[in-house]
Amino acid sequence: MLRLTENGAPLVRQTLVDTVYETLLEAILSGKIASGTNLNEVSLARELGVSRTPVHEALSWLAADELIELSGSRARVRTMSAQEVADLYDVRQLLECTAVERAASRIDETALRRLRAETQELARTKDDPDWPARAIEFDIRFHDVVAEASGNARLRAEIKRYRLLVRAFCRITSGRVKHLQNSFQEHISILRALEKRDAKGANKAMAAHIQRRVKVVLAEVFHEQTNAEGMPLTAVAGREAAGIAPGKFK
């Protein structure tokens, strides 16, 4: 039987639908549930230790995210292309660059001091065996603090949604400590701009951070090369063949 949870343990509530959705999302994006797999509500409910209702709702969310195809009572996992993953990161960049630019003038000094203290502690303990896990936790907190400081609750919610959509890819590539170390240094660059209240600098640093992360994902997961803006070169070639001007894809 496919094991979607650790040790077969029943899921706990976030709400329950959220938990089921996140569990299935990560299983799909990490490849634990392979592309083309047919999903059965009854089997999934049994595996996850929940009723069919939260599974049914979670599947509808996954269909809205275009990760599965629904046909009546049947569900099938879609195959995500490199371009679709790049598109997810592109939207994430648009959202998070807006958030960090707004945050530059809004984030309070207490939040900045806490982020700075965390970066100093991580830098001091970079050789500790638990550093990768703590770096990942810091990454999650850092981006949420920035999103909250934007002062726009809807923007923060959308950022959380898109970060959730790419989280599995982040976990796949974070197995290499060098990627976490590079990402950590990129966070420090963003933080420096925020401390200077430099909105444009923070925007630029956030854009560079996300573009570097998508390059890693596309290279390691899809074996795709990208241009300077994180766009797959196969897509660039397709645009050029279609007579579309090169540049940032929309």
Give me the percent of the chain exceeding a pLDDT of 90: 62
According to the model, what pLDDT value does residue 147 have? 98
Span 159-200, pLDDT tens digits: 998 998 887 777 666 557 889 999 999 999 999 999 999 999
Q: Do 82-241 and 6-77 have the same topology in CATH?
A: no
Span 112-132, pLDDT tens digits: 999 999 999 999 999 999 999
Range name among 14-23, 93-102, 183-192, 226-235 with the lowest pLDDT average: 226-235
Say how far apart CA 234 and CA 218 lie, in whole Å: 12
According to the model, what pLDDT value does residue 172 have? 66
Query: In sequence order, what are the beta bridge partners of 69?
Result: 76
pTM: 0.75
According to the model, what pLDDT value does residue 126 have? 94
According to the model, what pLDDT value does residue 191 have? 98
Residue 13's pLDDT band, with cuts at 50, 70 and 90, is very low
Say how far apart CA 100 and CA 107 lie, in whole Å: 9
Range name among 64-68, 121-125, 133-137, 232-236 with the lowest pLDDT average: 232-236
Q: What is the mean pLDDT of residues 206-211?
A: 97
According to the model, what pLDDT value does residue 30 have? 73
Say how far apart CA 167 and CA 161 lie, in whole Å: 10
CATH architecture assignment, domain 82-241: Up-down Bundle (1.20)
CATH assignment of 6-77, among 3.30.70.260, 1.20.950.20, 2.70.98.90, 1.10.10.10: 1.10.10.10
86/3: higher pLDDT: 86
Residue 3's pLDDT band, with cuts at 50, 70 and 90, is low
pLDDT exceeds 50 at position 48: yes
pLDDT exceeds 90 at position 77: yes
Token digits of residue 18:
């959220």
Say how far residue 226 (Cα) sits from the centre of its chain: 18
Q: Where do the domains of the chain lie?
A: 6-77, 82-241
